[in-house]
Structure formats: C-alpha cells, structure tokens
Amino acid sequence: MKVVKKLYNPPKYDTIKEYINEGIKKYPNNVAFRIKEKRDKEVVYKDITYTEFENDLESLAQGFIEIGLKGKRIAIIGKNCYEWALTYTTTLNGVGITVPLDKGLPEQEIESLLQRSFADAIVFESSYLEIMNRIQERNNTKVKEYICMQKIDGFKSLNEVISIGKKAIKDGKNEYKNLEINPEEMAAIIFTSGTTSLSKAVMLSNKNIASNIYGIKCSEKIYSTDVNLAFLPFHHTFGSTALLLFLSEGVTNVFCDGLRHIAQNLKEYKVSIFVCVPLLLEAMYKKIMTEVDKQNKTNIIKIMRKVCNFLLKFGIDIRRKVFKQILDNLGGNIRFVISGASAIDKNVAKGFYDFGILAVQGYGLTETSPVLAAENEKCVKFGSVGLPLTDVEIKIDNPNEEGIGEIIAKGPNVMLGYYENKEATDEVLKEIKGEKWFYTGDLGYLDKDGFLFITGRKKNVIVLKNGKNIYPEEIELLVNNLPYVSESMVFGLPKEDDLLLSLKLVYNKEYIKEKYGDISEEDLKQKIWADIKNINKTLTNYKHIKNLIITDEEMIKTTTAKIKRQEEIKKIK
C-alpha cells in the first residue's frame, strides 16, 4: 500500500508572525477567543475577534518595547487563558525570547528556572502573587519587570502595558510593525519535564516552530469554523504549537474549566477539535463503554459498528447518525481529536473512529517543536503514530532482529540545542554523513508502509538477567484495557541478582464500589490478580507479571499526565 504523506499545500513561512498574520488577514471577523467571565452570579461570554486580537498584539508588543523589553527574555506562568496566549504570541512575534514555565512548579523551582534562563521579565497570573513577592524580595534573579495578567496592587498589569503601547502607537510609534525577525535565532527557552536539576532548557527558533506548523498543515485539515478546546497546558510545546496552528487557520479557541468539566465544556462551546493526552481519551472512551454496558447495548453497538464499517467500504458514512446519542454526550460537534505525549490504546482510537470521530496520534518531543510524525484522515493505522511530517526524516538506529531500535530524526523543526549545556546537546544531536540527527531516546520501528510504531522509552526498558528486553508500555496498554483501571506502571523490582516484573495498578474506586460493593482490599486484589493472570496467558513467559501492587491513589505525574516512573519506583522501594 502506498501512503500519502502530504495532503495539502499551504503557504510556507519561516516565522510565526507570518502564520498569525495569515489567520488575521483571512478571517478578521472570526472569533479568535471566547472567554467565560463570571459577573456576580451571572456567566457571560466575551468574544475577541481576530482584528481585536491583532490590535492587542500590536499594542502589547509596542508596550513591551516602551518599558525596555525589546530583545529581552520574558517568562510566563499561569493557567491557559487569553493573557497567556497573547503574551506568548507577542513575544515570539519578534519582541524577545519567550520562557514558558510549568504552572505546577513549586516556588523554589520557579525561581531556579528564572535564574537558569536569565529571564528579564515575568508575566504571571494573580494566583502567584505571594510567590512573586517573595522572589522579588530575595532578588536572586535577573528579573526587573514583574507584570500581572490581572489588575493587582503593587505590580504592573498586562492591560497597563497594552495601554502604554496604544498611546505610543497613537503618538506615531510603530517599532513593532518594523521589527526584523531572524528565523534562525533562539526565540524560546522551554524546559523539559523533570526536577530543576534534571530538566533541560530546549532552545527553539522561529523557524523550528514555523516549520512544524507547516508540516501539520500539510497533513491535517483544520477549518476556520472549528472550535478548539485549549486543554493541554500552553507551557507544553504540543499545547502552544497547536494554539499557533489554530490561530493561523481562523479557529475559535476556548478554555477548559478543568478536568471534571470537560464534558460540560464540549457541549457549552460546541467544541469540534482539541489536542489532548491519551489518558483523557482513554478515560472518555471507558466512560462511554461503561454507560453502553449499563444500558445493555453492548451487542447492538458491536453490530452497528460492523454495519457502519461495511458501508464505509462503499463510501457510505452513516456513523454520526447511528451513534448520535453517544456523540451528543460529547457535545455533538466533535469531529477531530489529536492525541500526543504518549501512545494511545489502538482499541480506543478505533472505537472513536467507529463512532465517526477521527482520533489521530501525533508523536514528538519538546526538542522537535514538537511533532515528528502523525496520522491524518487518509493515513490511519491503529497502533501507529502515523507518518513523518513533510520535511521530516525518521530512521531507526541500530535495529534488533524485530526491527526495533532508537528513533532518530532530522528536519527544520529540530531544536538549536540545550541552553548552556553543550554536553547534553552533543549526546542527542549527532552527525551522520555531514547531517545532524536528533536521537529521541524512544524505541520503535517502521513498517513496510513507512508508519512509525513506538514500543517504549529507551530508559524504561527492563533488561532481565537472561538478556531479554521488556517494554513496559506494551504490557501497560493491555492492563489499561481493564474497565476499572485508571492507570498502571510496569517496572522491575530488584530481587536477589535479577528483576521481579512488577505492576502498580491504580483502580477506579467508584467503579469498584458500583460493581463489587464494599469489597475488602484482599478480595479485590484476588479478583484483579485473576485478570492479570489472564493477561499473562497472552504474553511470553518472561513478560509475565509476578508482583502486584494495587491502590486508589493517583500516581506522581508530569503536567502532561506522564507517570514519573523513577519517583514512583523510589516510593515503592
């Protein structure tokens, strides 16, 4: 089978500013952001058109220049909101260097990252007021400008800076419009997940991010009528690059009220598209199927899936009509979901597809701006992460007999390097025949059609005494299919001179109570063990789980829902 790598031919630019300007020029009256505001007990919605967004961009940019931040490093911290998006886009549009910070970091790490990035300014949400007061008092950073996203005593507000810019523009100043952007220079410093001492500062240029926007546009169809739920945190490259992509296409962007409110937000805003992590998609799918099971409709759903898939072979698509009730529970408008950060269960992706929702996988890292490969509407192979994006080349380094090896890539989206860390840069950016290749640290293989399959993280591989390699992610996908499992982690627990293959399983307390009533922990463990033994039967002997830990407490995770394995293993030990 010959697969199509490039479906569309969008214009190609080297800077983010050009992509944003394209969206503004084409869709001036489209709503760029819809913001929910609570006034007393009343909820109102404020719409910001692309023309209004352009005015705010120009005013904030000129305002930053007026207060001395031209060419400076501007950190941002806070939850996803219009002010965050505006600050980030403005800074990338030639004003300075953006430094997005993880909103979940403790005070000590925030201060440390401000020091490490040599940030000159920070734009922060009002909930960080006390932290900012203390950091300012200690004066251990280079930060001179503390700007709050909201109006608050003791600090400049973002609106004040916008007002300064507006006045300057009115007085005839237009430095922002004439700013020259070198697409090859560092435009962003983005810290990878991990503790302060372990996190690396990734340097990305305008060209890195712009090339990724182009690559995604070549393979994914985004409509100017789409409504995007900004769920992934913007400090995460997948979340922020997706935002820039949607802004270049005239999409309306709305904000999630929190994990518990996703179903409500999907209906409330008539969301048609969003980017998320597999954990969320898998939880949504489990909820749907649990409800189907409760209503004794499992068999009829299976039959209708087969009927729909049969008709699809003849170009007849009735999925959204047949499964209207299921789709209505997801807001009724969802058409396209992009999942990233880790592998999604292929049964979940297939399940959404059967209901008429295209759920594609993307794969990449912060270091690659971030997407390297993705599925699209014409190229879906369940279980894979799709094909390399346009202008990206992927190879498998030193493959074993199964074709599995480290995934390496080259392309214009690959980072400049790690900030002030040549040693770490040289470990991952290596020259092959005069070309720089990025070593991802992920393991996988390419099939005969060029689809990429991820088997696990190189550092997560469990190597037994007999030399056998176990990829924990492969077993976790099987375990996570159990209806009561919220999350799981497979790891090797030291025992004598070898490793005991172990599983930590987090169960859904509500599901267990509904299914088994007030069951004792010991009896529950026996029931779970029976299911794990059935999974063992499907695996070769050396992959059998031999030790089980169960809990209803959530595991330690990054803000993109990846389990911090080493911290969990340390806790277990």
Per the CB < 8 A criterion, the answer to whether 361 and 385 are in contact is: yes
For 228, phi then psi, to 5°, come to: -100, 130
Confidence of residue 462 (pLDDT cuts 50, 70, 90): confident
Between 433 and 77, the higher pLDDT residue: 77
Q: Reduced to 3 DSSP states, what percent helix, strand and coil does the chain have, rounded to the nearest 5?
A: 40, 25, 35
Tens digits of per-residue pLDDT, 380-415? 898 899 999 999 999 999 998 889 999 999 999 999
Summary count for the chain: helices (H), strands (E): 19, 27
Q: What percent of the chain has pLDDT over 70?
A: 97
> Which is it for strands 97-100 and 73-77: parallel, antiparallel or unpaired?
parallel
- The yes-or-no verdict on residue 2 having pLDDT over 60 is no
Residue 163's Cβ-count burial label (10 Å; 0-12, 13-18, 19+) is: middle
Please tell me the number of Cα atoms within 13 Å of 303 on its side-chain side: 4
Round to whole Å and give the CA distance between 126 and 278: 31
Give the helix ranges, DSSP H, for 335-449.
346-355, 422-428
State the average pLDDT for the chain: 92
Sign of the CA dihedral with 433 first, then 437, 440, and 444 last:
negative
Confidence of residue 560 (pLDDT cuts 50, 70, 90): low
pTM: 0.86
Round to whole Å and give the CA distance between 159 and 165: 10
Round to whole Å and give the CA distance between 125 and 555: 27
Q: Calculate the CA 32 to chain-centre distance.
A: 21
- The yes-or-no verdict on residue 39 having pLDDT over 50 is yes
- The yes-or-no verdict on residue 1 having pLDDT over 70 is no
Spell out the residues 6+ positions from residue 169 whose beta carbon is closer than 8 angstroms to its own: 58, 59, 62
Closest of 498, 544, 505 to residue 528, by C-alpha: 505
Confidence of residue 195 (pLDDT cuts 50, 70, 90): very low
CA distances from 280 to 79, 283, 323, 342, 477 (A): 18, 5, 20, 12, 14
> 377-404 as b/e, with b when 16 or more CB fall inside 10 Å?
eebbbbbbbbbbbbbbebebeeeeeeeb
Per the CB < 8 A criterion, the answer to whether 164 and 138 are in contact is: no
Confidence of residue 216 (pLDDT cuts 50, 70, 90): very high
Per the CB < 8 A criterion, the answer to whether 97 and 74 are in contact is: yes
Spell out the residues 6+ positions from residue 75 whose beta carbon is closer than 8 angstroms to its own: 98, 99, 100, 101, 113, 114, 117, 119, 121, 122, 123, 143
Q: Token pair for residue 68?
A: 């001395």
Round to whole Å and give the CA distance between 69 and 261: 38
Domains of the chain: 461-572 (3.30.300.30)
Closest of 4, 22, 52, 60 to residue 381, by C-alpha: 4
Residue 487, helix vs strand vs coil = strand
Round to whole Å and give the CA distance between 4 and 7: 7
Confidence of residue 142 (pLDDT cuts 50, 70, 90): very high
Please report where in the chains the tokens 């409709």 appear, as a residue.
297
CA distances from 63 to 15, 66, 122, 338, 506 (A): 21, 5, 14, 35, 49
Confidence of residue 499 (pLDDT cuts 50, 70, 90): confident
Between 433 and 184, the higher pLDDT residue: 184
Round to whole Å and give the CA distance between 63 and 40: 32
Residue 469 confidence (pLDDT): 77
Per the CB < 8 A criterion, the answer to whether 369 and 212 are in contact is: yes
Give the helix ranges, DSSP H, for 405-540.
422-428, 472-479, 509-516, 521-537
For 429, phi then psi, to 5°, come to: -105, 105
Round to whole Å and give the CA distance between 374 and 363: 6
CA distances from 116 to 78, 103, 120, 367 (A): 19, 17, 11, 18
Residue 194 confidence (pLDDT): 53
Round to whole Å and give the CA distance between 187 and 241: 13
Tens digits of per-residue pLDDT, 144-188? 999 999 999 989 999 999 999 999 999 999 888 888 999 999 999
Spell out the residues 6+ positions from residue 251 whose beta carbon is closer than 8 angstroms to its own: 30, 222, 223, 224, 226, 227, 228, 273
Q: What's the whole-number mean pLDDT along residues 88-110?
A: 95
CA distances from 247 to 254, 256, 307, 528 (A): 12, 17, 38, 46
